[in-house]
């Protein structure tokens, strides 16, 4: 159970941060992907008002993070120290460089929110390291960053992996992880086409075909499995990892699908969407719930066995180690 059973889809980030202000004050919180009008900015602005020791924003375009820093500094009487750091999650080199800077400065992180993401690239795109861009950015970059920085995460710390409510639609395609177009995917790796259609993604038929929305949902499943993998490795150090979904919020995320609208979907404001991510980051009652999933500000049942399976998580972990030439 969360501490606040009264919180729901309409709860705002400001309400969450005020409720858990004792756990925010004096801590260092790092958010990836902070840019104007995004959920990262919504979290940042709410968190800044409750006296954290330090906020760290990462962005692939540092000017975007700095714009959020300026808004906070302009509008707040006593803003906390804020560091902005360039990190392109789709590049191993950039992730390593950013981590090096944090490690050199001996930064201790209490809360890490893996928020950055890209969605629905219309054409299959590869990262500089040669991997499908949604997988590379949303999962692999965060996997590498979290592992590289893990010894700087405080005992009793918290990691939040941001995913989406569609995490169950596209299981990990171990036979075609970079969407090269393998038709003969085993049944258990094929997307749920009916569920994809009901989400408004369109009529899809061939498991081999690249589809930007499916590639995004694939990376969301990987983010859920990152929580499983980190729970296994960090829970014994008192570090909890949760997955959280914001619901649907119009942000820059939809830049590649301008006309995407689904009449059955309920839209939230950015502060409402970010609220679920902040419950996952701050609620002390969730410290013992590593691996759990937060939606609409409450613990929510994970309805896919694939994204909770430790064997699948281990297999994905091994893939990530191989892709990054690491041995975590």
In the bound state with ligand NAP, the residue whose beta carbon lies nearer, of 60 and 131, is: 60
With contacts defined by CB under 6 A, how many residues of the chain interact with ligand NAP? 28
Q: How far does CA 289 lie from the centroid of its chain?
A: 17
Q: What is the CA radius of gyration of the chain?
A: 18
Residue in 84, 88, 59 with CA at minimum distance from that of residue 70: 84
Least distance (Å) between residue 277 CB and ligand NAP: 8
Structure tokens at 319: 């893939």
Rounded to whole angstroms, the Cα distance separating 95 from 297 reads 30
The verdict on 16 binding ligand NAP (CB under 6 A) reads no
Q: Single out the segment in contact with ligand NAP by CB under 6 A; choices: 21-29, 37-45, 174-182, 278-286.
A: 37-45
Task: Name the residue nearer to ligand NAP (CB basis): 7 or 57.
Answer: 57
Provide the H-helix boundaries in 80-235.
92-104, 133-134, 142-149, 193-198, 212-234
Name which of 267 and 284 has its Cβ closer to ligand NAP: 267
Element (H, E) at 234: helix 212-234
Binding mask 58-87 for ligand NAP (x = CB under 6 A): -xxx--x-----------------------
Q: Does 239 bind ligand NAP (CB under 6 A)?
A: no
Tokens of 112: 């890490």
CB of 200 to ligand NAP, least distance (A): 13
3-state secondary structure of 159: strand
Q: At what angle do helices 39-48 and 270-282 cross, to 10 degrees?
A: 60
The verdict on 50 binding ligand NAP (CB under 6 A) reads no
313 binds ligand NAP (CB under 6 A): no
Strands 82-86 and 54-59: parallel
> Tokens at residue 244, please?
């959280």
Other Cβ atoms less than 10 A from the Cβ of 68: the count is: 26
- For residue 88, state whether it binds ligand NAP (rule: CB under 6 A): yes
Which lies closer to ligand NAP via its Cβ, residue 38 or residue 191?
Answer: 38
Q: How many CB atoms lie within 10 A of CB 182?
A: 15
Of 177 and 224, the one with the shorter C-beta distance to ligand NAP is 224
Interaction of residue 28 with ligand NAP, rule CB under 6 A = no
Question: Which of 115, 147, 240, 243 forms a contact with ligand NAP (CB under 6 A)?
Answer: 115
Nearer Cβ to ligand NAP, position 25 or 90? 90
User: In the 8-state DSSP scheme, what is residue 259?
Assistant: T
Q: Which of residues 240-279 bind ligand NAP (CB under 6 A)?
A: 245-246, 248-249, 251-253
CB of 164 to ligand NAP, least distance (A): 4
Asked if residue 32 lies in contact with residue 226, where contact means CB atoms within 8 angstroms, the answer is no
Q: Is position 33 an interface residue for ligand NAP (rule: CB under 6 A)?
A: yes
Residues 28, 21 contacting (CB under 8 angstroms): no
- Using CB under 6 A as the binding rule, whether residue 113 contacts ligand NAP is answered as no
Burial of 188 (0-12, 13-18, 19+ CB in 10 A): exposed
Spatial distance between the Cα atoms of 41 and 144, rounded to a whole number of angstroms: 23
Minimum distance from residue 310 beta carbon to ligand NAP (Å): 24
Q: Could you tell me which stretch among 73-81, 110-118, 204-212, 302-310 binds ligand NAP (CB under 6 A)?
A: 110-118
Which of 253, 292 has the CB closer to ligand NAP? Answer: 253
**Footprint of ligand NAP on this chain (CB under 6 A)?**
33, 35, 37-40, 59-61, 64, 88-90, 115-119, 137, 162, 164, 245-246, 248-249, 251-253
């Amino acid at each position: 159970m969360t501490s606040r059973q009264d919180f729901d889809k309409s709860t705002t980030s400001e309400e969450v941060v005020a409720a858990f202000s004792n756990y925010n004050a004096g801590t260092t919180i790092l958010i990836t992907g902070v840019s104007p009008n995004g959920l990262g900015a919504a979290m940042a602005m709410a968190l800044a008002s409750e006296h954290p020791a330090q906020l760290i924003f990462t962005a692939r375009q540092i000017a975007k993070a700095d714009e959020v820093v300026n808004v906070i500094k302009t509008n707040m009487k006593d803003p906390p120290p804020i560091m902005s750091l360039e990190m392109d999650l789709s590049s191993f080199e950039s992730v390593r460089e950013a981590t090096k800077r944090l490690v050199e400065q001996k930064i201790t992180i209490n809360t890490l929110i893996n928020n950055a993401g890209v969605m629905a690239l219309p054409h299959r795109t590869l990262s500089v390291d040669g991997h499908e861009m949604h997988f590379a950015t949303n999962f692999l970059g965060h996997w590498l960053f979290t592992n590289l920085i893990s010894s700087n995460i405080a005992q009793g710390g918290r990691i939040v992996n941001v995913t989406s409510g569609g995490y169950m639609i596209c299981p990990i395609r171990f036979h075609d992880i970079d969407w090269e177009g393998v038709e003969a995917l085993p049944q258990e790796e094929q997307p749920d086409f009916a569920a994809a259609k009901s989400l408004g993604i369109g009529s899809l038929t061939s498991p081999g075909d690249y589809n930007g929305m499916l590639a995004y949902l694939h990376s969301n499943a990987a983010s859920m499995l990152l929580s499983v993998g980190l729970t296994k490795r960090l829970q014994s150090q008192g570090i909890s990892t949760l997955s959280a979904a914001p619901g649907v919020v119009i942000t820059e995320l939809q830049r590649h699908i301008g006309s995407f609208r689904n009449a059955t979907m309920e839209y939230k404001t950015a502060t409402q969407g970010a609220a679920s991510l902040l419950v996952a980051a701050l609620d002390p009652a969730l410290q013992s719930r590593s691996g759990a999933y937060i939606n609409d500000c409450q613990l929510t049942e994970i309805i896919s066995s694939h994204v909770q399976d430790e064997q699948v998580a281990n297999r994905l972990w091994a893939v990530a180690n191989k892709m990054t030439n690491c041995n975590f």
